[in-house]
Amino acid sequence: MLSLSSLVKKSESRINIVVGSVVTTNLYWLGRGVVYQIHGEQMPNTVRQVGGGVMVSGGYAEFDIVHDCGKFTKRLPECILRGVQWKILDEVADAEEIQRLCANAEECAEKEKIEEENNAFLFSAEMERLKTATEYSQLEQGDCSSGKLAAKNIRKELKQFKGVKFSVRNRHYSSVDVNWTDGPTLEKVKTIINKYKDGCFNAMQDIYEYSASPFNTVFGSAQYPSAQRSYSDAMIGKAIEKIISAYDLKFEVVPTAEDFRTGKLWSEKREVFHHGLQSKIHETLAGME
C-alpha cells in the first residue's frame, strides 16, 4: 500500500518542468531555486526509484538551476530532480526573476573566484616565508603527508621542553602518536602537533576533510596527530597535596596515587566536588607542570 507522501512524490515526478519552474532541496544548503535552462527531452515516465529513492534511474533531460543563495546547479539529471532529495513546487518564476537570480549568482561566483585567488596568493606567500623563517630553521622541509616528516619535526620541536622524554611514533600511515610523563601540559604539546594536522574527520558525512596549511605543506602533515600525557606517582601526590591545602580537606587516611589510578576516589568528597575527588585531581593535574 502506497503512503500519501509516496503518492504525492509520484505525482510530482510526472510534472512537466519548464523554464521558470521553482524547485527546492536541502542538499548543500542550496534551498529554493529556479530552472533557467533545460537540455534534452523530458521523459518523466521512465524515472524509476529503488530502495525508497536511494537509487534512481531514467529520464533524459538535464536542468540548469539558479538558487536564491547565489549558487548554480548545472546539468542536474532529470532522475535526480524528480527524486526524493528535490521537490518541484507548483510555482513558476518570470523572466525578470530569473535574470535577477542569474545576475546575483554570477556576481557571487566572481567574488568567490577573486577570494580563492587571493587566498591562493596568501597561501603561497606564507609558504615562501616559512621556508626561510629563522624560528623554523631546525625543521626539515618536504612534501610528505604520511606522517614521517611530521614526526621528525615534532621530535625536534619538543626538544624545547628540557629534561622531558617524549615518545613520538608514526605507527600507521598519516598518524603521529606523542606520549610523555609529567612535563608540559597537554595543551602546550597540542599547540605544537596540531600545526601538522591536515584536516579532520566529518562524522556526519563519514569522510576525512582535508585542510592544508602553509605550515604543514612545507614541514609535513598527518591526518591524525595525537597527544597523551601520563603522570608519575610523585606528580599525582603533588596534585592531591595541592587540593587538600587549597580546600582544607580532612581525611582519616590521606588518598594515595594508587587510589587515584584504581578509580577509588570518584565518590570521595562529593559534598565538596560535584564529580568527586577523582575528577578534581584530573583537573588539577591537567594544569600542572
| Whether 19 contacts 42, CB under 8 Å | no
Question: Does the structure show a pLDDT above 80 at 24?
Answer: yes
Q: What is the mean pLDDT of residues 148-160?
A: 98
> What CA–CA distance (Å, rounded) separates 189 from 170?
16
What is residue 11's predicted lDDT score, i.e. its pLDDT? 54
What is residue 204's predicted lDDT score, i.e. its pLDDT? 84
| Whether 30 contacts 71, CB under 8 Å | yes
Question: Does the structure show a pLDDT above 50 at 7?
Answer: no
Residue 230, amino acid: S
At a CB cut-off of 8 Å and minimum separation 6, what does 22 contact?
32, 33, 34, 35, 88, 89, 91, 92, 93
Residue found under cell 535526480: 80
Alpha-helical (H) ranges within 185-273 are 186-193, 214-219, 233-247, 257-261
Residue found under cell 523530458: 42
Question: What mean pLDDT, rounded, does the chain reach?
Answer: 93
Question: Does the structure show a pLDDT above 70 at 77?
Answer: yes
pLDDT bin (cut points 50, 70, 90) of residue 1 is: very low
Q: In percent, how much of the chain has pLDDT > 90?
A: 89
What is residue 56's predicted lDDT score, i.e. its pLDDT? 86
What is residue 12's predicted lDDT score, i.e. its pLDDT? 55
What is residue 177's predicted lDDT score, i.e. its pLDDT? 98
| Whether 12 contacts 87, CB under 8 Å | yes
Closest CA to 145 of 219, 60, 51: 219
Query: Got the DSSP string for 21-89?
Result: EEEEE-GGG-EEEEEEEEES---GGG-EEETTTTEEE----EEEEEETTS-EEEEEEHHHHTSTTEEEE
What is residue 2's predicted lDDT score, i.e. its pLDDT? 46
pLDDT bin (cut points 50, 70, 90) of residue 9 is: low
> What CA–CA distance (Å, rounded) separates 237 from 255?
9
Q: What is the mean pLDDT of residues 174-201?
A: 97
Question: Does the structure show a pLDDT above 70 at 228?
Answer: yes
